[in-house]
A and B are shown apart, each in its own frame.
Chain A
Amino acid sequence: MPKLSIIRTTTFRLVLIYLALFALSAFLLLGFIYWSTAGISTGQTDDTINAEITGLSEQYRENGLGGLVKIVTERSRNQRQSLYLLIDPGGRNVAGNLTHWPEAATGADGLLEFTYQRPVGGKDTSRRARAWHLRLGRGFQLLVGRDIQERLKLEKVMRTSLAWAVALTLGLGLLGGVLLSRNLLRRVEVINRTSREIMDGALDRRLPVSGSGDELDRLAENLNDMLDQIERLVTGMRQVTDNIAHDLRSPLNRLRGRLEVALMGEGTQSEYRAAMEETIAESESLLETFNALLNIAQAEAGLAEDSLSDFDLSALVADMADLYGPAAEDKSQTLTGDVEDGIQIFGDRHLAGQALANLMDNAVKYTPDGGTIRLVLRRAGADAELIVADSGSGIAEADRERVLDRFQRLEASRNSPGTGLGLSLVRAVAKLHCAELVLEDNLPGLRVLLRFPDAGWLAEKEQTVG
């Protein structure tokens, strides 16, 4: 897998989007400050010029040209920022601090901006100015203006700041984005590498958890839990596969052997027929073993949740007593059913039925003729107790745990038919139903107790229907 590049990470993309938004808002904010400041100072300049024009016009009206010349001369001396120039009809300077009339100031009265020369430190410099020019009577013209060089400088500084601010925002944001993404990328990279190792077969590897409890940690923890679950399932599956391989091999071998032997000599029609019938019988028991293994696997996996539902355990147990009654009677065994009505549990009816059938099979099989079998279902507090007790040979205490394992058959039962899987299925089904499974001595015989927790009771009206 190619390494992730920073630019393609989600964090970096997010940072970029935020950065763009942030830079835009910085630009708008500073731009607004700039334009309003510039606007205000332009306005101030114009106001000052207007005020002076008003003043000078009044002076001219009251004291005539002489008064105007006087005051212009006076002001020209004092004011540094204000510019004045009064020219006669021939264009010659009469008073003021400008050296010559700007070329742009022709025609009707109005505002203009122009460049003029001013000596600063003994050297002429070009400066910008803004002025109002107007025609007085008899061909005289007056120009009143203000030097705006300083203001332009300020505006330039502000423009530069604006550019810098935006550039810095972008630069720092970008840097931060890279750092953030790199940090995240490093952790994601570790997760990716570990995942790849796990996919390559190292099922016991787990994702590192930094311990900070952040969202990546939570993600890693959840993934680790998932991996644990997967590992458990895979191990279980492997176990089932091993068992199937192990225990189907010998019957398959018998099957094949029987057919090969039948083919060896010149057999009669009826010999062939017998061999084939035996083969079919053998394949049927093979199938039985196979189904039993699958049932166990299904119960152990406990994943077939859609087949789970509330079901009437009382009815199931009563039916089972009914189903096995004649078989027990055939062996002169006394089968007594003591089933309390209306007990309901949540689970898989078919698997529970199969498990109970296995217990009944064993009871009928291992109880001698004339013995007794007791099938009980009763309430015990919030639980339901299911008991199958027989007066057979029982199971020695030392063997009770062992018989629950797959393919464990006690010496005594080696020669009777059976897959050796019956009690394993009972255990798996008990586990699926969260039920407790106890094998006890029935003095004599075996007593199997299944305690289903939190059994429900059917509503009265449902009971009467059932």
Chain B
Amino acid sequence: MRILIIEDDTAAAGFMAKGLAESGHVTDHAADGEDGFEMARHGDYDVCVVDRMLPKLDGLTLVQRLRAEGIETPILFLSALGEVDDRIKGLKAGGDDYLVKPYAFAELLARIEALVRRRDPGVVETHLKAGDLEMDLLARTVHRGGTEIAMQPREFRLLEYLMRNQGHTVTRTMLLEHVWDYHFDPQTNVIDVHISRLRGKIDKGFAVPLLHTVRGAGYCLRA
């Protein structure tokens, strides 16, 4: 995956580039808004990571201009501004996701990868499948190995999100955002408990576990 990092903090951009390279991605770096804009316009990138506050051209304006030119590369905003309306402003300007500094690297990586998947143009799916686990989105049923598994509505949404991102790590914050629409952190391990119940339903009694914990990052559904 080719990733453009537009970030004026060169040390932070350096860590990011190194980490992304170790995860198998190729990165370019622009240290100010104008360079970033030109590179994003002409380069062929899968994702742009854009800092909100940049010299010469701020992140919001940069993304607005890119969108005005019809460039639809997925954008992940990075910001030290964490208030809810800043986040909303970022998404309104054309950003696809918003991550507040400081962030865990695993979180950044999971979100970048999720952005690219989200952009895959596909037909509307009615069935999701991971190994012998099947999900019927219309009938709202879940089967594993031919046996139906009863699900609460919230569990269904949780599983759906994990299935749509199967093979990739999703973080607790991503789950909170997409399954509960919360942009804050509960202090206790509420998400972990939901996951362990879900695991009890879909993995218990089967030889091959599907739902894995990724240490220090989150969870991954993998067949």
Identify the stretch in A66-74, A76-84, A358-366 within 8 Å (CB) of chain B at 4 or more residues.
Answer: A358-366
The distance in angstroms between the C-alpha atoms of A353 and B184, with both chains bound, is 8
**A56 to B: closest C-beta gap in Å:** 100
Q: Is the CB of A354 within 8 A of B197?
A: no
- Which residues in B have their C-beta under 8 angstroms from that of A291? 82, 185
Q: Which of B185-202 contact A (CB under 8 A)?
A: 185-190, 193-194, 196-197
**B94 to A: closest C-beta gap in Å:** 19
Is B24 close to A, CB under 8 A?
A: no
- Which residues in B have their C-beta under 8 angstroms from that of A324? 186, 190
Encode contact with B along A300-331: 1 for CB under 8 Å, 0 otherwise.
00001011000000000001001110110110
What's the interface size class on A, roughly? 35 or more
Is A147 close to B, CB under 8 A?
A: no
Q: Is the CB of B197 within 8 A of A307?
A: no
The distance in angstroms between the C-alpha atoms of A369 and B184, with both chains bound, is 27
Q: Is the CB of B84 within 8 A of A350?
A: yes
Which secondary structure dominates chain B's binding surface?
Answer: loop
Which of B84, B180, B188 contacts A348, CB < 8 Å?
A: B84
Is A371 close to B, CB under 8 A?
A: no
The distance in angstroms between the C-alpha atoms of A418 and B154, with both chains bound, is 27
The distance in angstroms between the C-alpha atoms of A422 and B180, with both chains bound, is 21
Q: Is the CB of A323 within 8 A of B83?
A: no
- Which residues in B have their C-beta under 8 angstroms from that of A350? 84, 182-184
Q: Which of B176-223 contact A (CB under 8 A)?
A: 180, 182-190, 193-194, 196-197, 216
Given contacts A280-B216, A298-B83, A307-B84, contact A326 B187 (CB under 8 A): no
**B164 to A: closest C-beta gap in Å:** 21
**A296 to B: closest C-beta gap in Å:** 13
The distance in angstroms between the C-alpha atoms of A350 and B176, with both chains bound, is 12
Which of B154, B185, B187 contacts A322, CB < 8 Å?
A: B154
**A419 to B: closest C-beta gap in Å:** 8
Q: Is the CB of A307 within 8 A of B85?
A: yes
Q: Is the CB of B187 within 8 A of A327?
A: no
The distance in angstroms between the C-alpha atoms of A375 and B182, with both chains bound, is 19
Which of A277, A294, A418 contacts B187, CB < 8 Å?
A: A418
- Which residues in A have their C-beta under 8 angstroms from that of B194? 323, 326
**A307 to B: closest C-beta gap in Å:** 5
Q: Is the CB of B85 within 8 A of A304?
A: yes
Q: Is the CB of A326 within 8 A of B197?
A: yes
The distance in angstroms between the C-alpha atoms of A288 and B88, with both chains bound, is 22
Q: Is the CB of B82 within 8 A of A294?
A: yes
The distance in angstroms between the C-alpha atoms of A365 and B189, with both chains bound, is 11
Encode contact with B along A425-462: 1 for CB under 8 Å, 0 otherwise.
00000000000000000000000000000000000000
Is A287 close to B, CB under 8 A?
A: yes
Which of A284, A323, A419 contacts B190, CB < 8 Å?
A: A323
The distance in angstroms between the C-alpha atoms of A360 and B180, with both chains bound, is 16
Which of B82, B85, B193 contacts A326, CB < 8 Å?
A: B193
Minimum CB distance partner of B88 in chain A: A307
- Which residues in A have their C-beta under 8 angstroms from that of B70? none
Which of A280, A295, A327, A422 contacts B193, CB < 8 Å?
A: A327
Which of A304, A319, A327 contacts B180, CB < 8 Å?
A: A319
**A403 to B: closest C-beta gap in Å:** 16
Is A201 close to B, CB under 8 A?
A: no
Given contacts A323-B186, A326-B197, A361-B186, contact A307 B83 (CB under 8 A): yes
Is A357 close to B, CB under 8 A?
A: yes
Which of B82, B104, B193 contacts A330, CB < 8 Å?
A: B193
The distance in angstroms between the C-alpha atoms of A322 and B182, with both chains bound, is 13
The distance in angstroms between the C-alpha atoms of A304 and B85, with both chains bound, is 8
Minimum CB distance partner of B184 in chain A: A354
28 contacts between A and B (CB under 8 A): A280-B216, A288-B187, A304-B83, A307-B83, A307-B84, A307-B85, A307-B88, A323-B180, A323-B182, A324-B186, A324-B190, A326-B193, A326-B194, A327-B188, A329-B193, A350-B84, A350-B184, A357-B182, A357-B184, A357-B186, A358-B187, A360-B186, A361-B186, A361-B187, A364-B188, A418-B187, A419-B187, A422-B187
A→B interface (CB under 8 Å): 277, 280, 283-284, 287-288, 291, 294-295, 298, 304, 306-307, 319, 322-324, 326-327, 329-330, 348, 350, 353-354, 357-358, 360-361, 364-365, 417-419, 422
- 10 closest A-B pairs by beta carbon, nearest first, are A326-B193, A354-B184, A327-B193, A307-B85, A357-B186, A361-B187, A327-B190, A350-B84, A361-B188, A307-B84
B→A interface (CB under 8 Å): 82-85, 88, 102, 104, 154, 180, 182-190, 193-194, 196-197, 216
